[in-house]
Amino acid sequence: MIIDSHVHLYAGDFAGDLDEVMARAQLAGVQKFIIPGVDKASFEPMMSVVRRYPDRCFPAVGLHPTDVRSDWEAEIEFVVTQLQQQKFTAIGETGLDLHYGSEFIAEQRRAFEAQLRLSAYHRLPLIIHAREAFEPLFDVLDTVKSLPLRGVFHAYSGDAATLRRIRQYGDFKIGVGGVVTFKNAVLADVVKDCALSDMILETDAPWLAPVPFRGKRNESAYLSYIVEKIAALKNCTTQEVEDVTTRNAEQLFAI
């Protein structure tokens, strides 16, 4: 069994053929899916997918950094309300993103800190998004260093030194997806340098498709290409990659 620990199955890219996408995933051995929340507007579409595949899809709830605006407090209040009403596997997708600019970086930092505190309070793992923003992200983590934090740095984009720094803040895995198959990817060097016990598999579909599908719509069935690449980098079998990363995801998300 393989677990896709980060997939946006509610994205419009899947609106026309979701059943077929899920069938192909099952044929590829992908049995479980963690679906991250990003904002209030996409919450009901996400939960609709969860209700459609209740034994395979597990939702998280959170506010994505690129969706943070001046109304971030209302968005966080929505997250708080949902946590009081139903069960989730994680807090997120949360974090910081400076790729598109820094207009709302102050709001991003406050929203991220609020979600870190929710994670500790509800004893749920975090799904952390860090894009071109590791230093300010570490600044926020420093403010809550006493909290018992755990989770995954999704679509990991740092180097081995950054990963060592991350471990100072809690029990964190890295999410390894299609980028590991890209030519000259730093992620490939990180995978070589760390243990399988540090990793969980993800697609971030419909984005970040692995080679040979780079630039096309991604889907969970393509995890097999990521497994093969990791096995080659670690000089181990694909079965070992599947077994260890699946166990890691099951333990982290309690699924």
Separation between Cα atoms, residue 214 and residue 52, nearest integer Å: 29
Mean pLDDT score, 179-200: 97
Range of the domain at 208: 2-253
Sheet holding 57-59, edge to edge: 2-4, 30-35, 57-59
Q: Return the percentage of the chain with pLDDT > 70, whole number.
A: 100
Q: Please say whether the beta carbons of 89 and 54 come within 8 A.
A: no
pLDDT of residue 121: 98
Q: How many alpha carbons fall within 13 Å on the CB side of residue 53? A: 22
Q: pLDDT tens-digit profile of 42-56?
A: 999 999 999 999 999
pLDDT of residue 79: 98
User: pTM to 2 decimals?
Assistant: 0.97
Mean pLDDT across the chain, nearest whole number? Answer: 97
**The domain that contains 81 carries what CATH number?**
3.20.20.140
The owner of tokens 């991250």 is 36
pLDDT of residue 157: 96
Q: pLDDT tens-digit profile of 201-244?
A: 999 999 999 999 999 999 999 999 999 999 999 999 999 999 99
How does DSSP assign 98-165, residue by residue? Answer: -TT-STTHHHHHHHHHHHHHHHHHHT--EEEEEES-HHHHHHHHHHTTTS-EEEEEET--S-HHHHHH
196 pLDDT tier (thresholds 50, 70, 90): very high
The length of the chain in residues reads 255
- Provide the residue type at 103 as one letter: E
Q: For the chain, what is the domain count?
A: 1
Mean pLDDT score, 174-195: 97
pLDDT of residue 23: 98
pLDDT of residue 109: 98
